[in-house]
Homo-oligomer: A and B are copies of this chain.
Amino acid sequence: MFLMPTLLSDTNLFLWLDLEDPTPEEAKYVLEDLFHFHPLSIEDCVMISPSPKVVEYQPKEEDRFTPYLFMVIHAVDYSRKDGVFATKELNFFLGKNFLVTYHETPIRSVAATEEQAVNSSVHIARAPDRVAYTLLDSIVDNYQPALDELSLEIADLEQQALQSPTKETLNKIILIKKEVLHLRQIIGPQREVLARFARGEFKLIRAHMVPYYRNVYDALFQISELAQSYTDSLTGILQVYLNMSSNQTGEVVKLLTLITVITTPLMMIGTWYGMNFKDMPELSWKHGYWIASSIVLVSTAATYLYFKRRKWF
């Protein structure tokens, strides 16, 4: 926090300044007083913004800052408990000889990169574009556990939908679909931001670093393809679920019909000979009752076999 502006003017040095949950005063001191960043980028940095972006700031005559890239990117943190992706905003100010990162909550990727930078100072700490790459690479890598989690839950849902679809299954499908959608909404604009790096649009990223950024872009592209395939899987699962559920009603109707059909002979005979007409000759036939019983038995059995053969049960 107590850096000398003179330090910055030495172009041989490279400064990485990580602001984790700074007080407004600290933020103001660093971003405004020290680096004189463009007010718009400071506003974007301090406010929570749901979508990533990258803007290149070129100083005008009256401006006091050197050219820099401002970037907002979102790290993801998935925990099965809540079942929601928690995204954490990470802001970059990337200049020729400085990198300022700003975030309000601790981010694993930042912590890891810091450690790496301190320990193995040879490779990473040489330049801001390399540190930024390491951070981005680590952020993209951290999507993996979230994706694995989702993949497991989707496989689970597929089982459920096929074997025991309940109302909860539907809610779960809708919920996971929402999650995947959310994931895609996070990744989509991030991909666009990284594509600009991968195309080498920015002069502040040295040419030989561009393939590294392209690599990060490729990784993100694969994640977004995966997310797309999750959406397709879930649509399939939903179709299976809805079909299973309408199949169940179909089965119930079949059962109802079956019972009606099978009891029909008995009910008809029974009701018919329950009549009280004076003159019903069958009633006094010697074997009347046995004939009636036989008719009922035979026709019930016939019905039963008929539906058995048509594979109703």
Contact = CB atoms under 8 A, between A and B. Distances in A.
A221 B53 CA distance: 11
Contacts of A252: 250, 253-254, 257
A177 B280 contact: no
Contacts of A256: 253, 256-257, 260-261
Contacts of A277: 273, 282-283, 288-289, 292
B40 A225 contact: no
Number of copies of chain A assembled together: 5
A106 interface: no
A12 interface: no
Contacts of A214: 55
A276 interface: yes
Contacts of A273: 275-277
A46 interface: no
Interface string A247-266: 11110111111011101101
A51 interface: yes
Nearest to A248: B250
Q: Could you tell me the dominant secondary structure of chain A's interface residues? A: helix
Contacts of A250: 245-246, 248-249, 252
Contacts of A86: none
Contacts of A254: 249, 252
Given A218-B51, A257-B255, A278-B288, A238 B238 contact: no
Interface string A12-50: 000000000000000000000000001010011000011
A232 interface: yes
B276 A266 contact: no
Interface string A286-305: 10110010000000000000
A51 B221 contact: yes
A121 B269 CA distance: 91
A171 interface: yes
Contacts of A189: 225
Contacts of A111: none
A44 B218 CA distance: 10
Q: How large, as a class, is the contact surface on chain A?
A: 35 or more
Contacts of A261: 255-256, 259
A221 B167 CA distance: 36
A206 B171 CA distance: 52
B268 A259 contact: no
Given A55-B211, A189-B225, A279-B289, 10 more contacts: A55-B214, A60-B208, A167-B244, A167-B247, A170-B243, A174-B239, A249-B254, A253-B257, A278-B283, A279-B288
Interface of A: 38, 40, 43-44, 49-51, 53, 55, 57, 60, 162, 167, 170-171, 174, 177-178, 181, 185, 189, 207-208, 211-212, 214-215, 218, 221-222, 225-226, 229, 232-233, 236, 238-240, 242-250, 252-257, 259-261, 263-264, 266-280, 282-284, 286, 288-289, 292
